[in-house]
Amino acid sequence: MIRLPLVLFLSATLFATGVYGVLARRNAVLVLMSIELMLNAVNINLIAFSQHLQDITGQVFALFVITVAAAEVGIGLAIVILIYRNRETINVDEVNLLKW
Amino acid sequence: MVGQESAETLVKAIQDPSWFVQYSWLIALLPAISAALTLFLGRRTPGKGSVYGIAAVGAAFVLSLGVLWTFVGGERGFYEASIPWFQIGQLHMEVGVYIDGLTAVMFVVVTSISLCVHVYSLGYMKGDVRFTWFYVVLSLFTSAMLVVVLANNLFQLLVGWEVMGVCSYLLIGHWWEDPVNSGSAIKAFITTRIGDVPFMFGIFVLVFITGFTTSNIPAIGEIISGGGASVALVSAAALLLFGGTIGKSAQFPLHVWLPDAMAGPTPVSALIHAATMVAAGVYLVGRLFIVFLDADPVVLQIVAIVAGITMLGAALMAFTQDDIKRVLAYSTISQLAYMVAGMSMGPAGRTGAFFHLFTHAFFKALLFLGSGAVIHAVHSNNMSEMGGLRKYLPITFWTFLIGSLALSGVPPLAGFWSKDELLVVANHEGHPVLFVVLLLTALLTAFYMTRAVLMTFFGDYRGHGEPHEAPRTMTGVLIALASVTVVAGLVGSPQLGAVFGKWVFFEELEEALFVPWIAVVSTLAAVLGILIGYTLYKEYRAPDPLTRLGGAYGLVSNKFYLDDIYWKGIIQPTRDTLSAGVYWTNQHILDAEVNGAAKLAVVFGRGVRWFDDHVIDGIVNGMANIAGFTGGLLRYIQSGNVQRYAAFLFTGVVVLAIIFTRI
């Protein structure tokens, strides 16, 4: 049996990595991947607590999150492709037309 | 024979009212509906809308006969029904009907004369520019008069009374293109209005007597007969109400409008200014008779004096008129005074007065409609341009003659019986002066009617063109009215039981008396008048024989200078002095005030405008500028960089998380 704090530590580390990726990476694909990291950190949390509390609800939520994440990535990548076709770049800091 | 029924059994509500009595409000409603229909659909209807009026008034006439039948059948009570109208504080207003024998008789008089006039006008008004409008007002007038007749409260009566006044004004001024006609209409309206002001105050006094709770006529009667009001108050009310009668029934000194009202079309003169509306003043006194009976005796003496002056003065003025309609107009004034004089002689006189109103309505309408046929034929109102018309207008001549004899009081025609009854009452109740005046007036009446008949129908024709008999709608009405004139008097004849007195009475039945010597004297007076008239006018030559009287003739032909006195004494001072003064005040004082106020307002307005431009607008613009400036600073947050937004978002989440975990 793995101890809960260790799992939570892993999850927090993953989440922090994801946050860093979202805020600091320029490549849109990497930003999407970082979002995926954050979602999976949440999934780990959900399953850990589900195991800890002996309650199946957390696992059900994790399944939902996985589904949503798949859809999100599909749409996100489609947007990235369209941006690339239009702007010849996928650097998010260069996609800043909507400003003052 | 009739006095045995005691008062208690008489003044009761009708136990089992017939359909006609219960639905008597339809009688007043039908002509009103026809007025509306004629107004909106009249021009598009065949006959230009006259069918509505004739149908509605005809139906009302049938219903009226149904109502009268109840009383012919021996009913002596009354029927009252009302619905609430509105309420002001304690004062309950209602709309209702009060039906007794008097109402039933008045229904029949008004609807029958109105029906005759509606039919007669088909011929007389044919081709008139405002034919449809004429029928609208005619129907409206009929409805208003019926509202007055059946009203069970004073405010409803006043409404009908004033609508009648308006219709009278509209019809006198029917041919308003001629300023003479519109002037006459204004004169009639304003003169009757002078009488209406005291009338309204009289109503207020009566409502005051009830403690401002109701204007119901029977209720007021009960309070007064129960001693619930001081004699002074009742006397004041009676005198004020009589003011309304003086105006509407053209009594001295407000009689001046009626002769001028002859400017209207002749059917109107017959309906409104002879048979019905002018009788409303007499009806008012009779309906509120308790007020006059319980007032100080001086009030009835004043009524008698006014009536006496009016009947003699008007009869004299009829002598000098050349206009045939004006002769009849003065005759109407005189005969109305006859009725008012009857009212002043107590309950028996009241019955006599209403009997005279009843018979007078028929023969005076007949005379007016006959004169209309004459005017229709010769296109002139002046008797000096007529003469010899009995050859050209035989039907008109014979019917007019019957009417004249009835008015003169020749037995057994209608006028004889009613005049006789009034004379008998005057003798019986001890009014010797009034008796003499009534008799003298009867003589004068016979004289001027003889003069009118001789000047119009005998001798040689003095006018232009070839006169022709009137169309059948007109002569038919004349024949119908003439036959009624022959028989109408019989309902009040003592020999036949005087049934009229059983329909119209005040609290208890009066025994109808027949005094042979009075009948003989009144007949002699009539015959004497006719003989004098015949001697003077059997061969009429241009200067009227009466002009030989010199100064007296001048006095009478100038209407006792009453019009001049009113003109110089009241109208001119009002117009030249009062109006001029008011005008000057208006121009120099009121206008100065108004202009000064306006200038002040302009100066003040400029100040306000400066304040508005600089202070109010300054504040508003300042606010907007501040908002713009801060907005300009804030917009740099909108960088377009998604990652920076995400950083803000995470920072916000972290801050919120810290705050919430602290709590």
Using CB atoms, which residue from B635, B636, B639 is nearest to A96? B639
Residue A52 lies inside a defined structural domain of this protein: yes
pLDDT in tens, B387-401: 778 888 888 899 999
Nearest residue of A to residue B649, measured between CA atoms:
A23
What are the beta bridge partners of residue A91? Answer: A27
Which residues in A lie closer than 8 A to residue B650 (C-beta atoms)?
A: 19, 23
pLDDT in tens, B187-246: 899 999 989 999 999 999 999 888 888 888 888 888 888 887 888 899 999 999 999 999
**What dihedral do alpha carbons B190, B192, B198, B202 form, nearest 10°?**
-140
Which residues in A lie closer than 8 A to residue B643 (C-beta atoms)?
A: 22-24, 31, 92-93
Mind telling me how many Å the CA of B626 is from chain A's nearest CA? 19
Residue A15 lies inside a defined structural domain of this protein: no
CA distance B391 to B288: 48
| Structure-block tokens of residue B611 | 């304040």
Express as a percent the part of chain B with pLDDT over 90: 30
Residue B6 has pLDDT above 70, yes or no: no
Using CB atoms, which residue from B635, B636, B646 is nearest to A23? B646
Residue A10 lies inside a defined structural domain of this protein: no
What are the beta bridge partners of residue B382? Answer: B323
How confident is the model at residue A1, as a pLDDT?
63
H or E element at residue B401 = helix B394-408
Would you call A100 and B646 a contact, using CB atoms and an 8 Å cutoff?
no
Closest to B295 (Cα-Cα) out of B241, B349, B231: B231
CA distance A37 to B648: 20
CA distance A53 to A47: 10
What are the beta bridge partners of residue B216? Answer: B153
Using CB atoms, which residue from A19, A23, A97 is nearest to B640? A97
Mind telling me how many Å the CA of A11 is from chain B's nearest CA? 17
Mind telling me how many Å the CA of A60 is from chain B's nearest CA? 25
How confident is the model at residue B161, as a pLDDT?
92
Would you call A23 and B635 a contact, using CB atoms and an 8 Å cutoff?
no
Please check whether residue B256 is in contact with residue B566, taking contact to mean a CB–CB distance below 8 angstroms: yes
Which range marks the domain in which residue A47 is found? 27-91
Q: Give the mean model confidence (pLDDT) for residues B517-546.
A: 83
Q: What is the DSSP letter of B229?
A: S
Nearest residue of B to residue A25, measured between CA atoms:
B643
Using CB atoms, which residue from A22, A31, A100 is nearest to B638? A100
Residue B271 has pLDDT above 70, yes or no: yes
H or E element at residue A75 = helix A57-87
Which residues in B lie closer than 8 A to residue A22 (C-beta atoms)?
A: 643, 646
Residue A81 lies inside a defined structural domain of this protein: yes
Burial of B16 per CB tally in 10 Å (0-12, 13-18, 19+): exposed
| Structure-block tokens of residue B85 | 């109208």
CA distance B44 to B38: 9
Continuous H helices in B151-295: 154-172, 179-209, 217-225, 231-248, 257-260, 266-270, 279-287, 289-293
User: Percentage helix, strand, coil, to 5, in chain B?
Assistant: 75, 5, 20
Residue B659 has pLDDT above 90, yes or no: yes
CA distance B168 to B189: 8
Mind telling me how many Å the CA of A19 is from chain B's nearest CA? 8
Q: Between residues B573 and B417, which one has the greater pLDDT?
A: B417
Would you call B636 and A100 a contact, using CB atoms and an 8 Å cutoff?
yes
How confident is the model at residue B569, as a pLDDT?
77
Q: Give the mean model confidence (pLDDT) for residues B588-606.
A: 90
Q: What is the DSSP letter of A91?
A: B
Residue B58 has pLDDT above 70, yes or no: yes
Would you call B640 and A24 a contact, using CB atoms and an 8 Å cutoff?
no
Q: Between residues B477 and B384, which one has the greater pLDDT?
A: B477
Which residues 6+ apart lie within 8 Å of B493 measured at CB?
A: B412, B417
Q: What's this model's pTM, rounded to 2 decimal places? A: 0.74
Would you call B643 and A96 a contact, using CB atoms and an 8 Å cutoff?
no
Q: Between residues B8 and B102, which one has the greater pLDDT?
A: B102
State the Rg of chain A over Cα. Answer: 17
Residue A14 lies inside a defined structural domain of this protein: no
CA dist B412 to B406, B422, B512, Å? Answer: 8, 16, 17
Which residues in A lie closer than 8 A to residue B645 (C-beta atoms)?
A: none
SS3 B151: strand
- What is the per-residue burial (b if ≥16 Cβ within 10 Å, else e) of B68-103? bebbeeebbbbbbbbeeeeeeeeebbbbbbbbbbbb
CA distance B592 to B560: 46
Which residues in A lie closer than 8 A to residue B636 (C-beta atoms)?
A: 100
Closest to B112 (Cα-Cα) out of B408, B402, B363, B287: B363
Residue B637 has pLDDT above 90, yes or no: no
Chain A to chain B Cβ contacts (< 8 Å) = 31
CA distance B273 to B335: 12
Q: Give the mean model confidence (pLDDT) for residues B507-521.
A: 79
Residue A60 lies inside a defined structural domain of this protein: yes
Residue B551 has pLDDT above 80, yes or no: no
How confident is the model at residue B561, as a pLDDT?
75
Nearest residue of A to residue B643, measured between CA atoms:
A23
Number of domains in chain A: 1
Chain center to CA of B5: 36
Residue B540 has pLDDT above 80, yes or no: no
Which residues in A lie closer than 8 A to residue B642 (C-beta atoms)?
A: 92, 95-96
Q: Give the mean model confidence (pLDDT) for residues B15-20.
A: 80
Tell me the pLDDT of chain A averaged across its residues. Answer: 91
How confident is the model at residue B10, as a pLDDT?
54
CA distance A28 to B249: 108
Tell me the pLDDT of chain B averaged across its residues. Answer: 86
Residue keyed to tokens 């996609």:
A95
**What part of B 601-660 touches A (C-beta under 8 Å)?**
635-636, 638-643, 646-647, 650
Mind telling me how many Å the CA of A59 is from chain B's nearest CA? 25
Label residue B571 by pLDDT band (50, 70, 90): confident
Would you call A99 and B650 a contact, using CB atoms and an 8 Å cutoff?
no
What are the beta bridge partners of residue B508? Answer: B506
CA distance B508 to B149: 21
How confident is the model at residue B32, as a pLDDT?
92
Label residue B465 by pLDDT band (50, 70, 90): confident
Task: Report yes or no: A93 at the B interface, CB cutoff 8 Å.
Answer: yes
CA dist B11 to B69, B343, B362, B500, Å? Answer: 18, 20, 29, 17
pLDDT in tens, B273-327: 887 888 899 999 999 998 998 888 899 999 999 999 999 888 888 888 888 898 9
Express as a percent the part of chain A with pLDDT over 70: 98
Which residues in A lie closer than 8 A to residue B628 (C-beta atoms)?
A: none
Nearest residue of A to residue B636, measured between CA atoms:
A100
- What is the per-residue burial (b if ≥16 Cβ within 10 Å, else e) of B150-182? bbbbbbbbbebbbbbbebbbbbbbbbbeeeebb
Which residues in A lie closer than 8 A to residue B653 (C-beta atoms)?
A: none
Task: Report yes or no: A23 at the B interface, CB cutoff 8 Å.
Answer: yes
Complete DSSP assignment for A6-72: HHHHHHHHHHHHHHHHHHH--BHHHHHHHHHHHHHHHHHHHHHHHHHHT-THHHHHHHHHHHHHHHH
CA distance B278 to B264: 15
Nearest residue of A to residue B646, measured between CA atoms:
A23
Residue B356 has pLDDT above 60, yes or no: yes
Chain center to CA of B87: 27
How confident is the model at residue B552, as a pLDDT?
72
Task: Report yes or no: B15 at the A interface, CB cutoff 8 Å.
Answer: no
H or E element at residue B79 = strand B79-88
Residue A11 lies inside a defined structural domain of this protein: no
Mutate to test the interface with A, among B636, B637, B642 (most CBs of A within 10 A): B642
Would you call B647 and A23 a contact, using CB atoms and an 8 Å cutoff?
yes
Please check whether residue B76 is in contact with residue B6, taking contact to mean a CB–CB distance below 8 angstroms: no
Which residues in B lie closer than 8 A to residue A95 (C-beta atoms)?
A: 640, 642
Residue A87 lies inside a defined structural domain of this protein: yes
Q: Give the mean model confidence (pLDDT) for residues A42-46.
A: 94
Closest to B163 (Cα-Cα) out of B188, B136, B143: B143
Q: Between residues B306 and A2, which one has the greater pLDDT?
A: B306
Closest to B476 (Cα-Cα) out of B369, B379, B404: B369
Measure CA of the first residue to CA of the last residue in chain B; give whole Å: 112
